[in-house]
Amino acid sequence: MPEHAPHPDLGAHATGGLEAAEAAALERHLEECANCREEWVRLRATALLVPRAAPPFTVPRGLERRTLDALADEQPAAPPLRRRRPARAVVAALAAAAVLLGGLVVVSRSLDSGPTGTLELDADLRSAADPSLAASATVRATPLGRTIALDSDSLPVLPRGGFYELWFVGPGDSVASPNRISCGTFHPDESGRTHVTLHAAADPALYPTLSITTEPGDGDPAPGPEVLSARGP
């Protein structure tokens, strides 16, 4: 078998997402393809880390779209590798990988003796409407990308299904012409404490404003109402 790109079903198989017939066909391919076998071993090892990396988590509706949009925004000059729409399994694997990476970053941070990476931004997020609301965010550049450590004691627990979303916002951002990149979503714990590490590819020099919005969890990818923000340097 000549070298070829890894089989597109590997990600779905690693997370148990294939139908029995598809899984059997892929297993047969793995028996004869060292190329895919190597990738399979790597993906499977990563998939096995998921339950240990983060508590069970429902992927927010719209994450898949936002993940792809963010990737497209980050690489405006790169020619598309493939023009057809990626198979659903690949998109699902990408979304799962985004969640997984978030979990792994949290784990690696909690195992470290302290924060790693180069400090890029240390911001206090405030609300013009409600001075009792506040959060602090520390952005660091690491070899794995940027991490954003977010802390708050004042963000209220949202109604069931809702969540907060942190954004890097660039100049000229508007509803009609968005110029922002999501750093991910989060919930405070039951006691109303937020202590999370998110990650994003956006450069704070290009997207200097941090914004936290509330999202009702209705699947609409447009940002919800802003609750906190901070202008960068």
Which chain residues interact with Zn ion by CB under 5 A?
Answer: 33, 35-36
Q: Shortest Cβ distance from residue 33 to Zn ion (Å)?
A: 3
Q: Shortest Cβ distance from residue 39 to Zn ion (Å)?
A: 8
**Distance, C-alpha 90 to centroid of its chain:** 16
Residues 6+ positions from 25 with CB-CB distance below 8 Å: none
Q: How far apart are CA 65 and CA 221, in angstroms?
A: 7
Q: Shortest Cβ distance from residue 14 to Zn ion (Å)?
A: 15
Q: Shortest Cβ distance from residue 83 to Zn ion (Å)?
A: 22
- By C-beta, is 11 or 217 nearer to Zn ion? 11
User: Interhelix angle for 88-111 vs 63-74, to 10°?
Assistant: 80
**How distant, in Å, are the alpha carbons of 11, 12, 21, 95, 102 from that of 15?**
7, 5, 16, 12, 17
Helices then strands (H, E): number in the chain? 5, 8
- By C-beta, is 31 or 190 nearer to Zn ion? 31
- By C-beta, is 8 or 192 nearer to Zn ion? 8
- By C-beta, is 32 or 190 nearer to Zn ion? 32
Phi, psi of 52 (to 5 degrees): -90, -20
- By C-beta, is 36 or 135 nearer to Zn ion? 36
Q: Shortest Cβ distance from residue 152 to Zn ion (Å)?
A: 47
- By C-beta, is 81 or 111 nearer to Zn ion? 81
Asked if residue 214 lies in contact with residue 162, where contact means CB atoms within 8 angstroms, the answer is yes
Q: How far apart are CA 68 and CA 75, in angstroms?
A: 11
Q: Shortest Cβ distance from residue 38 to Zn ion (Å)?
A: 9
